[in-house]
Amino acid sequence: MTSYSVLPAGLTQETFGQAIDAFRHLLGDSQVISDQQRLAPYRKIMLPHDENDHAASAVVLPNSVEQVQGILKICNRFKVPVWPISTGRNFGYGSAAPGERGQVVLDLKRMNRILEVDAQLCTALVEPGVTYKQLQDYLKERDIPLWLSFPAPGPIAGPVGNTLERGEGNTPYGDHFNNACGMEVVLANGEVLRTGTGGLVNSNSWQVFKYGFGPYLDGLFTQSNFGVVTKLGLWLMPAPAGHRTVLVQYDEEQLETAIDTLAPLRIAGHIPNVGVMANATLALTSARSRHEIYQGSGAVPQDIIRAEAKKIGLADWNIIFTLYGSEERIAADYKLVSQAFERSGARVIPDIHDPMQVNELSLDAFRLYNWRGGGGSMWFSPICPARGRDFVEQTRLARSIYEEFGFDYMSAPALSGRALHHVMPLEYNRTDTEETRSAHLCFEKLMDEFAKRGHAVYRTGIGYMDKLADSYGPVKQEVNRAIKRALDPNGIIAPGKSGIRL
Amino acid sequence: MSASSTATAVIRVCRTASRPRPLLLPCLLTLAVIALPAQAQRSAEEVWSDTCTYCHTTGIGPELRGRQLPPAMIQAFARYGVRQMPAFSESEISDAELATLANWISQHPTQANEEKPHAAP
Ligand SMILES: Cc1cc2nc3c(=O)[nH]c(=O)nc-3n(C[C@H](O)[C@H](O)[C@H](O)COP(=O)(O)OP(=O)(O)OC[C@H]3O[C@@H](n4cnc5c(N)ncnc54)[C@H](O)[C@@H]3O)c2cc1C
């Protein structure tokens, strides 16, 4: 009898072996992975946890909705927990590894069909394995003038996984969940739910009208473990006639003014996209590695960062956004926004290039990983009201905690609107045990100190989900649990995801 | 985010928007069942341009071509990921594709920019 070195919690070798046999029978031998060498790619994480705590017991690779239904049936029968992934590129939050040791990864990458593109109403319907590159190639090959909004790892990540995590891109469609319309979800009992108007036989409005009739359910299937999403509708942006990307720079002392100037322009729509803001350290990662500018220990001193940034035209804070449309429209918008920024004391530099804001796929953001080297990276992702004094408070608090543990404070807020997604990478050398431990302690302290002051965190990685869910209070957790019990009484779908379990 | 990228043309007219709009009818509700990588094997060049090129021709990761790197090493790096490099599972790059890719990289002639320093360790 085969002996499995990693088992789901509470399962015997024998029961797990029976489940694996059933998976093989359903999917074919090659679509069920259980030997350690083939499982290795699913173990690689960038978080400061022991990989063994997130080791999958197996991976199953369905290629149809029916196979997903069949998998969940087997899971219920043998009480096997599964962790669904779409493209599995959740870098800095857990990559493709499951939340808990022994969970079976339900890898949906083979379900990668672009099912529909409606060029007139600018929508698409895709399966979970579709990558942004695949969808973009599809549109380009057919000359369909639609743009995508994607996260920085766009070429290798996909719209379903990203949207389900409520991720962000940098075009006017950058709030991805807000631009999703209609889901197909396989529930734990094997039934298939279509949200919005999708329940109607032959519905002709599934990708154009979100709400349908009765409760709007889609949010329940984001950042949750209430179902496995097998199709997602997307709204795509008509390609604009033109675009102009603008860089606005402020010094540290002007930070409060910067946000208070930016926010009204963004809320009123004069800045139409989810632009980004980068502090000098983060912006420097696009051109330098840490050891090129500093060989000491601890955080790189601010005066060195400032001087190095200045050499390549970067300021303490760099705001990048884009204006879209006809030449006349861009000229009018540019006049309005540039005057507002200049009046507040900023330096405005037009005509720079940021691929993500203009539908160009790149992995430029991965230069971040070369800053420290060693493969350790995680995202601390609080939400900040788009008010100068709040942002200054968050940056001071975050910087003091990063530096207490010897890390470089990097900040890359997304200009979401009334709020900023104040995402901060924590870069560390994962091959250094002591540094890895410090990164973990630093991250926990960030979570504690931010929660204490009412700063909500919008998303977190495996190993930190229970802690984050706690900060949202017991009532929310109890409601989540009640829904989980109702929809998934055996707790087979991603137990622990977002702190939700039976 | 690439704040330090050099400035590009002022207001660029988008390629697609500047062309006459294609007839809407053919692409309305296009039922497009795209070939599945798991079933249709891609060539080494396709895998290279779908995935590797984003880091290994831009200075984010080291240039791999023209160095006669052992194919087994290339396969191991891609499959398991090393340090900051992500791992690419077989659902994304199949064993057959990876083997072809590794040979292609290994035998690829020297690049013109080979003497450039590698950005990543
Ligand atoms: C340098 C860098 C920059 C980044 N920039 C951004 C950015 O700009 N914006 C951003 O949002 N993120 C960013 N990220 C984080 C992350 O890499 C992306 O969010 C990425 O899109 C997530 O991976 P994915 O799309 O492959 O999702 P997946 O890994 O497939 O899914 C993520 C999670 O969603 C759940 N899930 C996935 N599919 C399903 C399903 N079908 N049914 C039920 N649950 C499911 C699972 O819990 C899964 O773990 C960045 C990461 C790095 C390293």
CA of A381 to the centre of ligand 1 (A): 13
Which ligand 1 atom minimizes the distance to the CA of A91? 17
Q: How far apart are CA B101 and CA B95, in angstroms?
A: 10
H helix and E strand count, chain A: 15, 19
Q: Do A119 and B91 touch (CB under 8 A)?
A: no
Whether chain B has a CB inside 8 Å of the CB on A61: the answer is: yes
Three-class secondary structure of residue B55 per DSSP: helix
Q: What's the Rg (C-alpha) of chain B?
A: 19
Q: How far apart are CA A306 and CA A321, in angstroms?
A: 22
Residue nearest to atom 41 of ligand 1 (CA): A229
Q: How far apart are CA A74 and CA A68, in angstroms?
A: 10
Q: How far apart are CA A382 and CA A424, in angstroms?
A: 8
Rounded percentage of chain B residues whose pLDDT exceeds 70: 59
Q: How far apart are CA B72 and CA A306, in angstroms?
A: 43
What is the predicted pLDDT for the residue at A238?
98
DSSP string over A414-454: B--SSEEE--EEEEEETT-HHHHHHHHHHHHHHHHHHHHTT
Q: How far apart are CA A137 and CA A148, in angstroms?
A: 11
Q: Do A114 and B32 touch (CB under 8 A)?
A: yes
Identify the closest residue of chain B to A152 by CA–CA distance: B1
Q: How far apart are CA A78 and CA A12, in angstroms?
A: 10
Burial class (CB in 10 A: 0-12, 13-18, 19+), A143: middle
What is the predicted pLDDT for the residue at A1?
73
Spell out the domain ranges in chain B.
3-35, 44-107
User: Would you place residue A208 in the very low, low, confident or very high pLDDT band (cuts 50, 70, 90)?
Assistant: very high
Q: How far apart are CA A89 and CA B9, in angstroms?
A: 33
| Number of Cβ within a 10 Å radius of residue A259 | 26
Whether chain A has a CB inside 8 Å of the CB on B30: the answer is: yes
| Number of Cβ within a 10 Å radius of residue B95 | 12
Whether chain A has a CB inside 8 Å of the CB on B7: the answer is: yes
List of residues 6+ apart from A189 with CB closer than 8 A? A72, A76, A487
What is the predicted pLDDT for the residue at B40?
78
- CB of A384 closer than 6 angstroms to any ligand 1 atom: no
Whether chain A has a CB inside 8 Å of the CB on B32: the answer is: yes
List of residues 6+ apart from A470 with CB closer than 8 A? A477, A499
CA distance A43 to chain B (A): 9
Overall fold of domain A243-459: Vanillyl-alcohol Oxidase; Chain A, domain 3 (3.40.462)
Whether chain A has a CB inside 8 Å of the CB on B92: the answer is: yes
ipTM: 0.93
The dihedrals phi and psi of A488, each to the nearest 5 degrees, come to -145, 70
Matching residue, tokens 């760099």: A318
CA of A498 to the centre of ligand 1 (A): 14
Rounded percentage of chain A residues whose pLDDT exceeds 90: 100
What is the predicted pLDDT for the residue at A347?
98
- Closest partner CB to B21 (pick from A145, A350, A355): A145
Q: Do A117 and B92 touch (CB under 8 A)?
A: no
- Closest partner CB to B11 (pick from A63, A140, A244): A244
The Cα-based distances of A375 to A47, A165, A367, A378 in angstroms read: 9, 22, 12, 10
- Mean pLDDT across chain B: 71
CA of A426 to the centre of ligand 1 (A): 17
Using one digit for the tens of pLDDT, what is the confidence trace for A443-496?
999 999 999 999 999 999 999 999 999 999 999 999 999 999 999 999 999 999
Q: Do B89 and A133 touch (CB under 8 A)?
A: no
Using one digit for the tens of pLDDT, what is the confidence trace for B11-55?
222 222 223 333 333 333 333 444 344 457 999 999 999 999 999
Whether chain B has a CB inside 8 Å of the CB on A379: the answer is: no
Three-class secondary structure of residue A499 per DSSP: helix
Structure tokens at A201: 């036989």
Out of 1.10.760.10, 3.40.50.620, 3.40.50.300, 3.50.4.10, select the CATH number for domain B44-107. Answer: 1.10.760.10
Q: What is the largest CA-CA distance in chain A?
A: 75
The residues that bridge with B68 in the sheet, in sequence order, are none
Overall fold of domain A13-110: 3.30.43
Q: How far apart are CA A186 and CA A194, in angstroms?
A: 9
- Mean pLDDT across chain A: 98
CA dihedral defined by A277, A280, A286, A288, rounded to 10 degrees?
Answer: -170
CA of A96 to the centre of ligand 1 (A): 9
Question: pLDDT at residue B118 above 50?
Answer: no
Overall fold of domain A114-238: 3.30.465
CA of B64 to the centre of ligand 1 (A): 28
In this structure, what DSSP letter does residue A175 have?
A: B
Q: How far apart are CA A405 and CA A442, in angstroms?
A: 6
Identify the closest residue of chain B to A286 by CA–CA distance: B2
Using one digit for the tens of pLDDT, what is the confidence trace for A378-429?
999 999 999 999 999 999 999 999 999 999 999 999 999 999 999 999 999 9
Pocket test for ligand 1, best of A65, A109, A164 (most atoms within 8 A of CB): A164
Q: How far apart are CA A108 and CA A228, in angstroms?
A: 10
User: Would you place residue B111 in the very low, low, confident or very high pLDDT band (cuts 50, 70, 90)?
Assistant: low
In this structure, what DSSP letter does residue A493 have?
A: B
Spell out the domain ranges in chain A.
13-110, 114-238, 243-459
Q: Do A63 and B33 touch (CB under 8 A)?
A: no
CA of A314 to the centre of ligand 1 (A): 29
Show residues of chain B in contact with A116, CB under 8 Å: 29-32
Which ligand 1 atom minimizes the distance to the CA of A108? 41
Question: Average pLDDT in the A270-285 region?
Answer: 98
- CB of A84 closer than 6 angstroms to any ligand 1 atom: yes
Task: Please name the residues between 52 and 91 in chain B that touch chain A, using a CB distance below 8 Å.
Answer: 54-55, 58, 60, 79-91
- CB of A85 closer than 6 angstroms to any ligand 1 atom: yes
Residue nearest to atom 20 of ligand 1 (CA): A90
The Cα-based distances of A407 to A370, A424, A436, A459, B99 in angstroms read: 15, 12, 11, 21, 39
CA distance A55 to chain B (A): 14
Structure tokens at A502: 């039976």
Q: How far apart are CA A60 and CA A28, in angstroms?
A: 10
Using one digit for the tens of pLDDT, what is the confidence trace for A355-388?
999 999 999 999 999 999 999 999 999 999 999 9
**B117 vs A261: which has the higher pLDDT:** A261
Show residues of chain B in contact with A377, CB under 8 Å: 84
List of residues 6+ apart from A198 with CB closer than 8 A? A182, A183, A184, A206, A212
- Closest partner CB to A41 (pick from B17, B30, B79): B79
Whether chain A has a CB inside 8 Å of the CB on B25: the answer is: no
Question: pLDDT at residue A44 above 60?
Answer: yes
